[in-house]
């Protein structure tokens, strides 16, 4: 009889401890929801900052070429053309299009003052632009201009 009673108690305890209660599951779902509501906006901002680096890279690749041209000819180039084009004598070959950004095909300003503009074409900052500005013929550049929100800019451009 002793063995039979312990088998019944064991069976009852095992049935009692199967699975989670509804409250426990609801708490887990709520915690996951809270974490997701925090993580998704942070991820979107991170992705946009990564897209902004493409604009900075495109503009940065043009700085040396533009300043060399300007110092040799004492004027800015009249425009930029894609690598597959044949440039006029006053134009520079440059990569103007990326996956998330486009660079303006002209440089504004009168030498030695000049501005290069890059515009985001995708993501949260779609339509925003960032500018590289020089006041000394391209020896130094500032990237604090444009309409791009500060939270998306690289540290050097805030």
* CATH fold for domain 25-157: Glycoprotein, Type 4 Pilin (3.30.700)
Give 158's pLDDT tier (boundaries 50, 70, 90). confident
The residue extents of the domains of the chain are: 25-157
pLDDT in tens, 82-138: 888 888 889 999 888 999 999 998 999 999 999 999 999 988 899 999 999 999 999
Q: What is the pLDDT of residue 3?
A: 52
Q: Indicate if the pLDDT at residue 15 is higher than 60.
A: no
Q: What is the pLDDT of residue 20?
A: 84
DSSP annotation string for the chain: -HHHHHHHHHHHHHHHT-S--HHHHHHHHHHHHHHHHHHHHHHHHHHHHHHHHHHHHHHHHHHHHHHHHHHHHSS--SEEE-TTS---TTEEE---B-SSEEE-SS-BS-TT-EEEEEEE-SSTTTT-EEEEEESSTTSS-EEEEES--GGGS-GGG-
pTM score: 0.75
Mean pLDDT for the stretch of residues 25-31 = 94
């Amino acid at each position: 009889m002793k063995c039979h009673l312990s088998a019944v108690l064991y069976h009852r305890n095992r049935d009692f401890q199967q699975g989670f209660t509804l409250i426990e599951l609801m708490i887990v779902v709520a915690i996951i929801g809270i974490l997701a509501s925090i993580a998704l906006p942070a991820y979107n901002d991170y992705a946009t900052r990564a897209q902004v680096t493409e604009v900075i890279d495109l503009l940065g690749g043009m700085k040396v070429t533009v300043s060399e041209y300007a110092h040799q000819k004492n004027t800015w180039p009249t425009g930029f053309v894609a690598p597959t084009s044949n440039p006029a004598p006053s134009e520079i070959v440059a990569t103007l299009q990326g996956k998330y950004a486009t660079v303006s095909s002209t440089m504004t300003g009168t030498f030695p003052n000049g501005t290069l503009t890059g515009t985001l074409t995708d993501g949260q900052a779609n339509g925003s632009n960032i500018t590289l500005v020089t006041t000394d013929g391209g020896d130094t550049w500032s990237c604090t201009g444009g309409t791009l929100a500060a939270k998306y800019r690289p540290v050097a451009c805030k």
